[in-house]
Each structure stands twice: as C-alpha cells, then as structure tokens.
C-alpha cells in the first residue's frame, strides 16, 4: 500500500478512504478547496494523516499565492478548521506555515518532512505500546479489541493503535482481533478489517453494541485504540463508542491502552471537558450507503467523538512518553522531532 497521503510533484495524492474496501483508488487534490472537501467528507481521515494533509494543504496555498502571505494564512486556517477535534490537523498546518517567510519551497519541504517522520514515529510508539501490553497481559498471544481505524490508513504509514497490533503480530503475540464496526461510517468494518486482512492477522468483525459484552464474557485480553486528541491530564478523545469500551474494560479488569503520536497530546487543553467535539451531518445516521433507514427529517445526535477519562485508561503511549497512574513520564533517549 502506498502512503495514505503523499506529494506527487504538484498536488496531494490521497488514498480515498470512502471507497474501501470495494475499491482501492487514489485521489489527486490540486487545490485548497479540494483538500478542505477531502478532509470534510473523510476521503482523508485519521489524526496523523490529517496532520500531513494540513501541512500539504499549506504548501498548496503557498505555491498558489506567492507573495500574498495573508491569503496563504487565511487558506491555512480554512484547512485547519474543517475538523476541530483532531489537534494534529492544526499542528501540521502550523508547522508548515511557520516556514512561510522562507518561501513556498521551504513550506513544501517542511510539509514533506511531516510525512517522512510519520512512519518512524509510528513504529517507535507501536513498539513501546506492544511492550506495555505484554507487560500488562503477559508474554502470550493476545485477544485484542479495537475501535474505529488507527492503522496505516489513519496515518501516513504503519499506524498507531493498529500499529501496535501489527507490532505484536510480528512478534507472534496476537491470537485474534475483534474489530468493532464503528458506526455511523463503519471505519472499523471498512478500513480496519481491510487492513487486518492485508496484514494476515486473525480477526472478526464485532457489532459495536457487542463490544462491551465481549469484554464482559472474557473474550478480550486488552483494548487498544488510537486518539484524535489527548488532554494534558490524559483524557483521550477517540471515535464515538470508545468510552463504552473503557467502562466495560474497567468493570472486567481488562487493560485499555491509547496509542498516539506526541503530536496528538495537547498540553494546552487541561482536561477532556475542554476538547471541542465535532458533530457531523445527520444524514450519516439517517442513511446507510445512501439508503434511508429512518424517517426523513428525523432529529439526530451524531457526535464524531467521545472522551474517555484518564482514570479509565491503563495508559496513553506515544513515541517518547507514557501517561500512567496519573502522571506523564518521558523517555531519557532523544525524542523524534
């Protein structure tokens, strides 16, 4: 599989995540308008992938509007505002925009650096998370439950939560993965299951409403997920439905680990209560694949994310730090940039 998001010379090449698993196709995004639309309709999704798209969107704006920094900044802000919960999107934008005074090619170079660093970052955090899961659960093949998609498709390459599964599988330490379907857009069914099949990892698709029951019945050794924003106190925002799994995991004594890059940790956001939660279009719930499943005009509650309090999590793991037992600890080894 190619990078989820990449630069192809004069435009952004992005795997169209709406088309999977029926079709693997790459879309070409040549304008900021196209980037904004692709982020909004979830052609590009997943916190680290959004960070890369945000950075490349600034590069497009800088190349399109040379000598007009105010216009570039306005375009950059438009990109960052599409999905407010995912802090990586704004951080990718801000990182590329910081090079604007050095010219459009410097902006592009910085955006490409975001992409180049992604896989190394994800491999490191996945290895750290796999080590911790082995510590928590024992050195044996594990039955894991995951929610939404936190694999290579959610990043530029490799993955975060599902990257840890990939790492454990490489060590021969995965018995099975229960992949929750993830309503309403089925990122688990469409994307995570597709990735697990590509990886050759044993898996079953799990109805969202059955996840808590599976945990309670002893079918799960650990829950591992990604995140779109982690607050300073360790509270984590992830795809809606994650909180319910956490409650079930605590009740059953099953560890739950959030795996995300350092760029997802927002120390300027004190707690999960301060995280802005995106609410998406009602038709995502009223229809499935364009077919109505509820009466027209039905009022809908469709938050994209929920917040899991740190008290319900065993740990949050990044490439260089861990939140555990109420505090952050940082590795002494040099951190990746």
Residues with a known catalytic role: 228
Beta bridge partners of 65: none
In the 3-class helix/strand/coil scheme, how is the chain assigned residue by residue?
Answer: CCCCEEECCCCEEEECCCCCCCCCCEEEECCHHHHHHHHHCCCCCCHHHHHHHHHHHHHHHHHHCCCCHHHHHHHHHHHHCCCCCCHHHHHHHHHHHCCHHHCHHHHHHHHHHHHHHHHHHHHHHHHHHHHHHHHHHCCCCEEEEECCCCEHHHCCCCECHHHHHHHHHHCCCEEEEEEECCCCCCHHHHHHHHHHHHHCCCEEEECHHHHHHHHHCCCCCEEEECCCEEECCCCEEEECCHHHHHHHHHHHCCCEEEECCHHHEECCCCCHHHCCCCECCCHHHHEECCEECCCCCCCCCCECEEEECHHHCCEEECCCEEEECCEEEECCCCCCC
Q: Give the closest residue to 8 by CA, choosing from 108, 96, 151.
A: 108
The arrangement of strands across the sheet holding 26-29 comes to: 5-7, 12-15, 26-29
């Amino acid at each position: 599989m190619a990078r989820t998001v990449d630069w192809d010379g004069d435009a952004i090449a992005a795997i169209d995540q709406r088309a999977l698993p029926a079709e693997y196709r790459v879309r070409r995004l040549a304008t900021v308008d196209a980037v904004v639309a692709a982020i909004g309709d979830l052609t590009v999704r997943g916190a680290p992938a959004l960070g890369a798209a945000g950075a490349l969107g600034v590069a497009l704006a800088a190349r399109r509007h040379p000598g007009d920094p105010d216009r570039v900044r306005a375009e950059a802000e438009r990109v960052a505002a599409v999905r407010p919960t995912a802090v990586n999107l704004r951080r990718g934008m801000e990182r590329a925009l910081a090079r604007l005074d050095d010219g459009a090619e410097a902006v592009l170079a910085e955006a490409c650096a975001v992409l180049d660093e992604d896989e190394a970052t994800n491999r490191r955090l996945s290895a750290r998370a796999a080590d911790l899961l082995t510590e928590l659960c024992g050195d044996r093949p594990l039955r894991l439950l995951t929610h939404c998609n936190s694999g290579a498709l959610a990043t530029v390459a490799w993955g975060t939560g599902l990257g840890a599964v990939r790492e454990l599988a490489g060590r021969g330490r995965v018995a099975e993965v229960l992949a929750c379907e993830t309503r309403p857009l089925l990122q688990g069914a469409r994307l995570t299951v597709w990735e697990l099949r590509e990886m050759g990892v044993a898996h079953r698709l799990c109805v969202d409403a059955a996840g808590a029951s599976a945990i309670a019945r002893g079918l799960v050794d650990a829950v591992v997920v990604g995140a779109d924003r982690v607050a300073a106190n360790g509270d984590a925002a992830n795809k809606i439905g994650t909180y319910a799994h956490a409650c079930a995991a605590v009740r059953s004594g099953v560890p739950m680990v959030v795996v995300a890059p350092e760029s997802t940790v927002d120390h300027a956001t004190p707690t999960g209560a301060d995280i802005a939660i995106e609410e998406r279009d009602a038709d995502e719930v009223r229809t499935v694949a364009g077919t109505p499943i509820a009466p027209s005009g039905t009022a809908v509650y469709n938050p994209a994310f929920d917040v899991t309090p740190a008290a319900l999590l065993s740990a949050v793991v990044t490439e260089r730090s861990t939140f555990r037992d109420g505090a952050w600890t940082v590795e002494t080894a040099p951190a990746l940039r």
